Amino acid sequence: MTGTNEVSFKDRMTKAAGKFAGSRFVRAIMAAGYSVITFSIIGAIFLILTILPQAFPIPGFAGFYANTLGRFASLFQVVYSSSMGILALVFAGTFTYTYTQIYQEEEHLNLNPLNGLLMFLMAMFITVPQLIWKNGAIQFVQSLNKNNIIGGGYAVSAGGVTRIASVGIFTGLVVGWLTVQIYRFTIKHNWSIKMPDSVPAGVSNSFSALIPGFCVAVVVTVINLFLVLAGTDIFKILYIPFSFISDIANTWWGFLIIIFMVHFLWWFGVHGATIMSSFYTPIVLANMAANVKGASYFFAGDPMNAFVIIGGSGATLGLALWLTFRAKSIQLKEIGKVEIVPAIFNINEPILFGLPIVYNIQLLIPFIGAPLVSGIVGYAAVTSHLVPKIIVQQPWPTPVGLSGFIATASWQGAVLSIVCAFAAFVVWYPFIKHYDRVLLKKEQAATAN
């Protein structure tokens, strides 16, 4: 009976998690997360150019920098602001485009992803200006306070229009989701202008989006109006629940819960990193932008691939090396040969399904314990200021050492990345050595028979 219940629980867990991971919303979120990497790297390059003296505190270098590259620091800042300063538009815009495309393909609707993106931009900018009900009329908020400059309703800083940067990611997601649902509803109910086949496609698409776009504008405007009359707006309303979630994720125990859930789901054969990152990606992007401005969040950029799951989920880089060069059983040695190169780039499906780790109760403890330990080491080193904070989102396949260097723009980050990988392997070692002995005995017995 117990075995039946266990299988039943596994099946239910796998089915539920798999359904969520394959949902349209999550798939669109993941595409949005990937799209940000390009802009993050571009911004990071120019950010590093502005902070070279801090990254390389060599005697005399600061003066040399000030007289050379330092002369162009403001220009470097412009490039950074033009990439990371529009993070909400890039992230939520890609989400909207992909979300529209998914509905177009899977529900066979006459939706145009580009129209969905453009309608989102319109809707987003309806919400960006800060408005107030004053003297019996809607008015733009004006503030010339040096810490809060607002002109014509638009809050600005050295990085540009504030609300289209990282602070607008959560609002952008909500507005993007609403835009797609309104667009989808109008098309399903044939609320669109259909042009003859002889009309050029560009003209036809423009007219087909007229009614859906008008509906999006009206709905978002009405929502905005009611919120302004209530003395608030959508940014302030969404700040409450999302700040609560961010506050939890930014604690050490919240961070460890995220690591645990990633690997707990993976053990059931479900891509835990995909599921959990759909929740925390907006948080780490916002935290990374805040770090550049002076904040000190650990959970920023991509701390997981820099300091936690080095080699892939389960922090298996050290494990892959051990399997390749030290394993005695044929099975593990062969898996090591297959995995060693992918592990360098944080890819470890051969280990997850070939060792296997998935559904293997003997390896559950190190699979969850190793990344928890590496996560604790990384968190402690950064929050104690032994290692600079994360200010760059490195590409997730970046090898160990280089990933930490890029993430923190420091040699200390490179060293920490290697230390975290070693700490994870210390957890793995007794378990994989025992597992290797068990498999070796089975192979020897099979050979003898």
- For 213-237, the pLDDT digits (tens) are 999 999 999 999 999 999 999 998 8
> Does residue 19 surpass a pLDDT of 90?
no
Average pLDDT, the chain: 87
* pLDDT band at residue 2 under the 50/70/90 scheme: very low
Quick: pLDDT tens for 166-190.
788 889 999 999 999 999 999 998 8
Among residues 244, 265, 288, the one where a domain terminates is 244
Examine the domain organization and report whether 444 and 390 are in the same domain. yes
pLDDT at 271: 75
Q: Mark residue 158 as left, alpha or beta (left: phi above 0; alpha: psi -120 to 50; beta: remaining).
A: alpha
Provide CB contacts within 8 A for 241, sequence distance 6+: none
Examine the domain organization and report whether 112 and 240 are in the same domain. yes
CA distance 352 to 336: 12
Stronger pLDDT, 12 or 161, i.e. the higher one: 161
Mean pLDDT for the stretch of residues 25-42: 83
pLDDT at 9: 63
> Which H/E stretch holds residue 151?
strand 148-151
Mean pLDDT for the stretch of residues 53-76: 83
Quick: pLDDT tens for 412-442.
999 999 999 999 999 999 999 999 999 999 9
Of the candidates 214, 125, 218, which has an alpha carbon nearest to the alpha carbon of residue 172? 125
CB contact at 8 A, 423 and 400 = no
CA distance 267 to 248: 24
> Does residue 7 surpass a pLDDT of 60?
no
| Percent of the chain at pLDDT exceeding 90 | 46
* pLDDT band at residue 10 under the 50/70/90 scheme: low
> Does residue 409 surpass a pLDDT of 50?
yes
Q: Is residue 405 part of a domain?
A: yes
Mean pLDDT for the stretch of residues 252-278: 86
Mean pLDDT for the stretch of residues 190-217: 76
Going across the sheet that includes 148-151, the strands are 143-145, 148-151, 154-157, 160-161
Of the candidates 382, 360, 378, which has an alpha carbon nearest to the alpha carbon of residue 417? 378
Q: Is residue 308 part of a domain?
A: yes
DSSP assignment letter at 362: G
Examine the domain organization and report whether 287 and 416 are in the same domain. yes
Mean pLDDT for the stretch of residues 231-246: 85
SS3 155: strand
* pLDDT band at residue 282 under the 50/70/90 scheme: confident
Q: Is residue 7 part of a domain?
A: no
Distance (Å) of CA 423 to CA 70, 267, 416, 429: 39, 21, 10, 10
DSSP assignment letter at 389: P
Q: Is residue 203 part of a domain?
A: yes
Q: Is residue 95 part of a domain?
A: yes
SS3 173: helix
Residues 109-144 as b/e (b if ≥16 CB within 10 A, e otherwise) read eebbbebbbbbbbebbbbbbbbbbeeeeeeeebeee
In this structure, the chain runs to a length of 449
pLDDT at 252: 92
CB contact at 8 A, 55 and 121 = no
pLDDT at 276: 85
CA atoms within 13 A on the CB side of 5: 2
SS3 330: helix
CB contact at 8 A, 223 and 232 = no
Quick: pLDDT tens for 336-375.
998 899 999 998 888 888 888 888 889 999 999 999 999 9
Examine the domain organization and report whether 95 and 140 are in the same domain. yes
SS3 160: strand
Among residues 192, 209, 244, the one where a domain terminates is 244
pLDDT at 353: 83
The tokens describing 439, both together, are: 């498999």
Examine the domain organization and report whether 240 and 254 are in the same domain. no
Examine the domain organization and report whether 125 and 230 are in the same domain. yes
pLDDT at 242: 80
Q: How many domains does the chain have?
A: 2
CB contact at 8 A, 155 and 161 = yes
Provide CB contacts within 8 A for 344, sequence distance 6+: 311, 317, 399, 400
pLDDT at 383: 95
Examine the domain organization and report whether 254 and 188 are in the same domain. no
Examine the domain organization and report whether 226 and 254 are in the same domain. no
* Beta pairing partners, 134: 137
**Looking at 117-126, 392-401, 414-423, which range is the least confident one?**
392-401
Measured in whole angstroms, the distance separating CA 146 from the mean position of its chain's CA atoms is 32
**Looking at 13-27, 34-48, 271-285, which range is the least confident one?**
13-27
Examine the domain organization and report whether 171 and 275 are in the same domain. no
Examine the domain organization and report whether 203 and 258 are in the same domain. no
CB contact at 8 A, 32 and 95 = yes
Cβ count near 39 (within 10 Å) = 18
Q: Mark residue 192 as left, alpha or beta (left: phi above 0; alpha: psi -120 to 50; beta: remaining).
A: beta
Examine the domain organization and report whether 306 and 320 are in the same domain. yes
Q: Is residue 390 part of a domain?
A: yes
Q: Is residue 190 part of a domain?
A: yes
* Beta pairing partners, 137: 134
Among residues 244, 270, 285, the one where a domain terminates is 244
The overall longest dimension of the chain from CA atoms, in Å, is 94
pLDDT at 1: 44
Of the candidates 302, 257, 292, which has an alpha carbon nearest to the alpha carbon of residue 403? 302
Q: Is the peptide bond before 356 cis (omega within 30 degrees of 0)?
A: yes
Q: Is residue 6 part of a domain?
A: no
Q: For 39, phi and psi rounded to 5 degrees?
A: -70, -30
CA distance 152 to 130: 8
| Percent of the chain at pLDDT exceeding 70 | 92
Examine the domain organization and report whether 273 and 397 are in the same domain. yes
Q: What angle separates helix 210-229 from helix 234-249, to the nearest 10 degrees?
A: 80
CB contact at 8 A, 275 and 20 = yes
Cβ count near 345 (within 10 Å) = 17
Q: Which domain holds residue 186?
A: 84-244
Mean pLDDT for the stretch of residues 303-330: 94
